[in-house]
Amino acid sequence: MSVKSAFEHIVNRDHVYPFMVPKQASNLNVDKNILLYLEDISVSFDGFKAINNLNLYINDGELRCIIGPNGAGKTTMMDIITGKTQPDSGTAWFGQTINLLEMDEPAIAQAGIGRKFQKPTVFEELTVWQNLELAMADDRKVWTILNAKLNSEQSDMLMETVALIGLKENVGMPAGRLSHGQKQWLEIGMLLMQKPRLLLVDEPVAGMTHQEMDRTSELLISLAGRHSVVVVEHDMDFVRSLAGKERTVTVLHQGSVLSEGSMDKVQNDPKVVEVYLGE
């Protein structure tokens, strides 16, 4: 019953689940240490420029925070990176060899770009372990996956991930019984099972307790290095804790980069104060 309803849940998704995408080595090339290049990207909706000559570069292994007022174009930017929206002009490259604008959503996910939407979308009736098992699967045989035995490499990876996301004590618990924060971590864990090179994370701490926010900040920081992580977030305390003194924060406004640099730098940028932080 639980597997059946999970299956129904899966086939009604409005976005690509990593496990629906066959795993394949991509020809990613990051010799120049830049993982994502967005250059001169523009897109209009009914004549309104949601993204306006946007240039953004994400280094390999970097953790980048993106902030900006409502309507600044943050979601649209993520949609372009993941192939959900095609820009009117500009270029988007994943490393130096993968042209994202020539690929559809499944191909982009397969190339190593994982996206975490704001609302957790774990399979509530399946356990934490089963959710992670499903996410690891490399084809659509959902029924087979849940009945199959993992090899030792797979179960090591699963154990490692469960520890990383802080859910070791909850492996046998149906995901529906986890707290909101725990569900968010589980979903991050599910994305990690596909070993993405770039993780796009949309407002991960909305609705979390302070303690959960601190834990989420630790988790995302721990992912940097092995993965590049782009976090879109409105909560300034959280962004401060993620960015620290060293990391780069990008401020979007009216579809372009308004300011970029350390949190201290962007916070004290008069343009930013005027359009955003000063609100």
Ligand X SMILES: Nc1ncnc2c1ncn2[C@@H]1O[C@H](COP(=O)(O)OP(=O)(O)OP(=O)(O)O)[C@@H](O)[C@H]1O
- The contact set with ligand X (CB under 6 A) reads 45-46, 50, 68, 70-76
Smallest separation (angstroms) from ligand X to the CB of 234? 6
Choose between 175 and 251: whose C-beta lies nearer to ligand X: 251
Hunting for tokens 């045989």 — which residue is that? 141
Choose between 45 and 143: whose C-beta lies nearer to ligand X: 45
Q: Which amino acid is at 273?
A: V
3-state helix, strand, coil in the chain (%, to 5): 40, 25, 35
Choose between 84 and 240: whose C-beta lies nearer to ligand X: 84
Choose between 23 and 49: whose C-beta lies nearer to ligand X: 49
Report how far residue 211's alpha carbon sits from residue 31's, in angstroms, rounded to the nearest whole number. Answer: 38
Report how far residue 125's alpha carbon sits from residue 121's, in angstroms, rounded to the nearest whole number. Answer: 12
Contact 193, 161 (CB under 8 A): yes
DSSP state of 30: -
**Residue 199: phi, psi to the nearest 5?**
-115, 125
Q: Which amino acid is at 114?
A: G
- Across the beta sheet with 256-261, the strand order is 113-116, 198-202, 228-232, 63-67, 249-253, 256-261
Choose between 118 and 222: whose C-beta lies nearer to ligand X: 118
Q: Alpha helices, DSSP H only, in the chain?
A: 2-11, 74-81, 105-111, 128-136, 142-147, 152-164, 180-192, 210-223, 236-243, 263-267, 270-272
Q: Which two tokens stand for residue 112?
A: 């190593």
Smallest separation (angstroms) from ligand X to the CB of 236? 13
Smallest separation (angstroms) from ligand X to the CB of 113? 18
Choose between 68 and 181: whose C-beta lies nearer to ligand X: 68
Smallest separation (angstroms) from ligand X to the CB of 163? 32
Choose between 12 and 48: whose C-beta lies nearer to ligand X: 48
Smallest separation (angstroms) from ligand X to the CB of 50? 3
Smallest separation (angstroms) from ligand X to the CB of 87? 12
Report how far residue 38's alpha carbon sits from residue 164's, in angstroms, rounded to the nearest whole number. Answer: 31
Smallest separation (angstroms) from ligand X to the CB of 15? 15
H or E segment and range at residue 180: helix 180-192
